[in-house]
Structure 1
Amino acid sequence: MNHAIRHIWIVSVTLFVALFAALSLIQVVLTDDLNANSKNSRQIIASAGSPRGPITVDGEAIALSVPAENSPYDYQRVYRDAELYSGITGFYSTYGGSSGLESALNDYLSGQSDSQFFDRISALFTGESMQGAQVELTLNGQWQQMAYDMIPDDRRGTIIVTDLTNGDIKVMASKPSYDTNRLAVHSRNDYLQNLEEIEATPGLTPHSLGPISNRIFPGSTFKLVDTLAMLESGDYDLDTELENPPSIQLPQSVNELENLDTGNCYQRQEAEFRWIFAQSCNTPFAEAGMDLGQQALLEAAESFWFNQELTIPLYVTPSHFPEEEVSDAALALSAIGQQDVGATALQINMLAAAIGNEGTLMRPQLVDTIRGTDLQVLSQPSPEVLNEVMSPDVAAEITEMMVETVESGTGWRAQSSRFDVAAKTGTAEIGDEDGLVNSWITGFAPADNPQYAVTVVYERLEPGVGNELTGPQMLAMLEAVIGE
């Protein structure tokens, strides 16, 4: 009798071990393969309708999952203040994939990251749905709303505010925008119809975020790069006298490059570097670019992170300065932010941020903390130095010229009665038959103790319109974010 019982016990234990091994194999080893199987419709429905983790700003959820009604899916993704954050959160769709942080941080939001392994095991044995992680952003909701409201609805505009000491992005507002809830629907027909309507808006795509994806001519804001190369060459200082002709003949070309006839550059045929910078005169910078050579400008640009990969954790399109050899005429135009140069709004913000931070460029960051279901910290990015762009002495010299730009130059609309503002303006022709331009301003404050870098840019404006928007909006944001 004991012998029979022993055999039954051995068989039972063997079956239990085999069952546990099979369950472990399916739930752990083969999970990815099973989830990716296109025939696994049950898994697709369960995954697409699972309770994804919230995305929060100032402790309030701007993206969350709620129980779905009249749907094959258990949960519905919902976005609050959707247009305010659309490009940042992106969307999560049961039919059209995902974009923005919904895509970049999908492993955390869906609960499938390596750091959530034990949570998945716990959910397996309890039978509860696996809850995704909570993603807490660096944004300030009040400032984000203020910036968004300032951008006219009929314009393509961006406002970025970063804490230049640690790289935290406090504001990244842009228009045009869209309601992400329209793409989080559980109907394929509704999704396709809404997607078509959204993409019909000029300059809008739900699959990217303009401030980090649109690479456009930066115009005279690129002169910050020229200025770094000029000062580090040892051939220039703030009081160096430079020739400032109204126009120059481009080498091996029938074209001329001119100073803008709407500024103060025509007042002086020769002037010190600091005055040339403040008035943003084109011809001296074009001449300096050709004299320094392409390699010097390339090294200065890449020290600010042009031509290099970056994630925040959203992917940032690399800004471009030509690495391949170009003609002197093309180099002259590139030196004033035209021709072969393209930059995102975030990149131009990084120029100002590095200068304001005594030459140290911090990695821009959108995510503050990622927490698990019991609020334990799964990820918390630390401030990271991307590059030591320049010495504090050179940064101080450029800051001095940027302050002069606001006090007596092209950035006068950004003057504050509370503190000194350091800024650089830019206007870039986009080369279309309508004569439209990109209008920029980038800078930081307080100039003697910098805290925040602000960049404002408008694309495809009529000449003269942008200056009425960029300078005053930079000033408004700086006075809002810098305490009394």
Structure 2
Amino acid sequence: MNTTLRRLASVVMVMFLALMVSTTWIQFFHADELNSDTRNIRSIYAEYGRARGPIVVGGEAVALSKPVDDEFGYQREYTNGKLYSPLTGFFSLANGTTRIENTENDFLNGQADALWVDRLQNLLTGRDPEGSSVELTIDPKAQQAAWDALGDQRGAAVALDPKTGAILALVSKPSFDPNDLASHSTKEAGEAYTNLLNDDSKPLNSRATNWTYPPGSTFKLVTAAAALESGDYDADTSIDAPDTYQPPGTDRSIGNYGGTSCSSSGQMSLADALRISCNTAFAELGVDLGSDALYEQANAFGWNEPFQVPFNTDASIFPEPSDAFAPAFVAQAAIGQWDVRETPLQVAVTTAAIANGGEVMQPYSVDTVRDPQLEVVRETSPTSVRRAISQETANQLTDMMIGVVEDGSGRSAQISGVTVAGKTGTAQHGEGAPPHVWFTGFAPAEDPQVAVAVVVENGGTVGTSEATGGAVAAPIAKAVMEAVLNG
């Protein structure tokens, strides 16, 4: 073989080697990327050609795939779509997946690593592949009670099992119907998604987990916890409760709701200040405690970090103390105003921690995953995140919150024969706008089975500056607690 042929053969061999290496690299190392590419029509047909597993609440499927006579093979359907969409999310040919449909996708479509035995059996037997069922922690009666009690008002309700962190109810209004997005017509699904995106009420955003509000007086639970944890206060400690309070360094004063007086003497116990939700007392208390104490206590309850339930939630915000954190801001923060923001889920987690003796439990919404033969392949175990407050502080806060419901601002949450602990909130959020109103609580106080948080935007059906958490939000929380307790 002459020199020219040897060189040509070498070049051809190098080219074949380069082709083999590049093909192997693309097929092996970029397989996941190629499979997930929206332009990969084979991947799309494969995904929709499987019997996707159901999402189950109380033994009934709230999302399931039914055989259809088209090129895809199965159609995703949602029963009570609007009721459960803040949890299920959607599975859409045109718009992807969200929430449980997204985070549990590998189990729902049968491709999770834990299902390799099932996939092998399918391969050997020729059986069509099936997805696993995902069973949620939701109590269907509590979910329906929250939905019905909110009515046409905008807002959210979250209920937890304080001892485990299991989410018993999670409702957001206004909501959306995921069936509109599950259409196999990309045109129809795309138009439906665009309409939802352009809707001023933002129904695609879960107000329960991914929407933050000023907490108003519900934050006084955090301020009271910081005071009790300092060791300088207990429930009976007398604190200042002036008619108005002017924080150092400002000429603006803080007043009480409706301009009322909390105490004729200008003094009252910490318990009484919480019972009637005295702004001036808690504003001054917050300044005395300082921004660091409030920040650390808020963080102990979970502020400034998102939860995964298993989908991501928005973090509640308590600003980190700095030189710019003036006493006037601390005073506002201590009563749940200024730049403090929280999700309803965070409020429920905080209240559940108090009910659970001070221990914060990881909130979760997926209880069990079962393969097509109904064998358990994954089960969620309750997990403690941290201890936010001592058992003694939790006991004192519980007694103080009982006073709120029995003889304070939260009387509308009373349940016959059951001791309820709670806290109301009325949060200003814009000049001339009706306040957002809150209620959070748990029951029975002596052996908590449910903790709940409710927010109603812009005063709800009252719709005026006179709206309060006790009048608007507390009855909703009561309905949810009763649904859980009555089974």
TM-score by structure 1 length? 0.89
Question: 1:52-451 alignment to 2 at 5 Å?
Answer: 52-69=52-69, 71-153=70-152, 155-206=153-204, 208-261=205-258, 265=262, 267-325=264-322, 326-431=325-430, 433-451=431-449
> Is the contact made by 1:425 and 1:442 (CA closer than 8 Å) also made in structure 2?
yes
Paired letter, 2:54: P
Q: Taking structure 1 as reference, are residues 121 and 41 closer, same or farther at Cα in structure 2, changes over 3 Å only?
A: same
Paired letter, 2:194: E
> Is the contact made by 1:217 and 1:428 (CA closer than 8 Å) also made in structure 2?
yes
Query: For 2:177 and 2:350, how far apart are their aligned partners in 1?
Result: 32
Query: For 1:77 and 1:173, how far apart are their aligned partners in 2?
Result: 22
Q: Report the equivalent of 2:20.
A: none
Q: Report the equivalent of 1:477.
A: 480
Paired letter, 2:474: G
Describe the superposition over 1:173-232 as per-residue Cα deviations: whole angstroms up to 9, x where unpaired.
2210111100001112111221233334333242x4220111110111001110111011
Shift of 1:37: 4.9
Paired letter, 2:472: L
Shift of 1:344: 0.4
Paired letter, 1:277: L
Describe the superposition over 1:110-142 as per-residue Cα deviations: whole angstroms up to 9, x where unpaired.
112111123233333444432111100111112
* Unpaired stretches in structure 2, ≥5 consecutive residues: 1-23
Q: Give the 3-state SS of the residue equivalent to 1:261 in structure 2.
A: helix
Q: CA RMSD in A?
A: 2.2
Query: For 2:39 and 2:473, how far apart are their aligned partners in 1?
Result: 53
Using the aligned pairs only, state the percent identity.
40
Describe the superposition over 1:46-88 as per-residue Cα deviations: whole angstroms up to 9, x where unpaired.
224432110001111100111123x321111100111110111
Q: Is structure 2 residue 43 aligned with structure 1 residue 43?
A: yes
Shift of 1:248: 1.7
Shift of 1:438: 1.1
Q: Report the equivalent of 2:15.
A: none
Query: For 1:83 and 1:393, how far apart are their aligned partners in 2?
Result: 42
How many residues align? The count is 457
Q: Which range moves more in the overlay, 334-343 or 409-418?
A: 409-418
Q: Give the 3-state SS of the residue equivalent to 1:265 in structure 2.
A: coil
Q: Taking structure 1 as reference, are residues 31 and 251 closer, same or farther at Cα in structure 2, changes over 3 Å only?
A: same
Query: For 1:348 and 1:109, how far apart are their aligned partners in 2?
Result: 31
Paired letter, 2:183: V
Q: Give the 3-state SS of the residue equivalent to 1:210 in structure 2.
A: coil
Q: Give the 3-state SS of the residue equivalent to 2:248 in structure 1.
A: coil
Query: For 1:198 and 1:156, how far apart are their aligned partners in 2?
Result: 16
Q: Report the equivalent of 1:7.
A: none
Q: Give the 3-state SS of the residue equivalent to 1:211 in structure 2.
A: coil
Shift of 1:368: 0.7
Query: For 2:33 and 2:244, how far apart are their aligned partners in 1?
Result: 65
> Is the contact made by 2:435 and 2:467 (CA closer than 8 Å) also made in structure 1?
no
Query: For 2:259 and 2:417, how far apart are their aligned partners in 1?
Result: 29
* Unpaired stretches in structure 1, ≥5 consecutive residues: 1-23
> Is the contact made by 2:368 and 2:380 (CA closer than 8 Å) also made in structure 1?
yes
Shift of 1:371: 0.9
Q: Taking structure 1 as reference, are residues 267 and 203 closer, same or farther at Cα in structure 2, changes over 3 Å only?
A: farther
Paired letter, 1:241: S
